[in-house]
């Protein structure tokens, strides 16, 4: 918000009262902020390989507008297939959409699986930010935080 005060003088030299005008300077639309993004649920328990929905929190728009999220990719630190009897694939569903699920599955020798989930957030005027969050899967009978061995496998591949 900015303002200025002015006075006009008519042709006979009589000044008017002072008047103040306020105006909103439009600084342009600012992009959403992805830096604090986090998964609503950071740890999953191994659950028979079921697909579990991923939602994100703490993505905001400076103008308070709505933000739409697209999940752009998921990588994981265990191979997508063959890590156990009954290993299912792919391990992520919904890449390229706003509705993502990852598989609550770990390998037989797993020290916990880590999914690295990339997304883009876009506001109503098309400004965007991108980010990556991690979701872990804890093996049954373990209380350890999943160890990230390097998320090099594309979860959306069979």
Binding flag, residue 147, Ca ion (CB under 5 A): yes
- Which helix (H) or strand (E) is 74 found in, with range? strand 67-76
Instruction: Give the phi and the psi of residue 21 in degrees, each rounded to 5.
Output: -115, 130
| Shorter beta-carbon distance to Ca ion: residue 70 or 116 | 116
Per CB under 5 A, contacts with Ca ion among 56-95 are: 77, 80, 87, 89, 91
User: Which token pair is 149?
Assistant: 């061995």
Strand, helix or coil for residue 48: coil
CB of 104 to Ca ion, least distance (A): 10
Question: Of 61 and 77, which CB lies nearer to Ca ion in the complex structure?
Answer: 77
Under rule CB under 5 A, residue 154 binds Ca ion: no
By the 10 Å C-beta count (0-12 exposed, 13-18 middle, 19+ buried), 30 is classed as: middle
Q: Which residue's CB is nearer to Ca ion, number 119 or number 153?
A: 153
Tokens of 139: 């093996």
Please say which residue, 65 or 94, places its beta carbon nearer to Ca ion. Answer: 94
Judged by the rule CB under 5 A, the positions of this chain that interact with Ca ion are 77, 80, 87, 89, 91, 111, 147, 149
């Amino acid at each position: 918000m900015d303002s200025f005060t002015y006075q006009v003088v008519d042709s006979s030299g009589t000044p008017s009262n002072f008047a103040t005008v306020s105006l909103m300077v439009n600084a342009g639309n600012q992009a959403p902020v992805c830096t604090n993004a986090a998964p609503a649920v950071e740890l999953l328990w191994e659950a028979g390989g079921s697909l579990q929905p991923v939602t994100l929190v703490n993505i905001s728009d400076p103008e308070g507008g709505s933000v739409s999220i697209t999940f752009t990719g998921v990588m994981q630190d265990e191979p997508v297939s063959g890590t156990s009897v009954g290993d299912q694939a792919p391990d992520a569903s919904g890449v390229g959409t706003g509705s993502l699920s990852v598989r609550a599955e770990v390998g037989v020798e797993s020290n916990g699986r880590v999914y690295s989930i990339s997304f883009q957030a876009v506001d109503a005027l098309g400004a965007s930010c991108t980010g990556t969050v991690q979701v872990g899967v804890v093996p049954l009978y373990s209380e350890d935080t999943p160890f990230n061995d390097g998320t090099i496998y594309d979860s959306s591949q069979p």
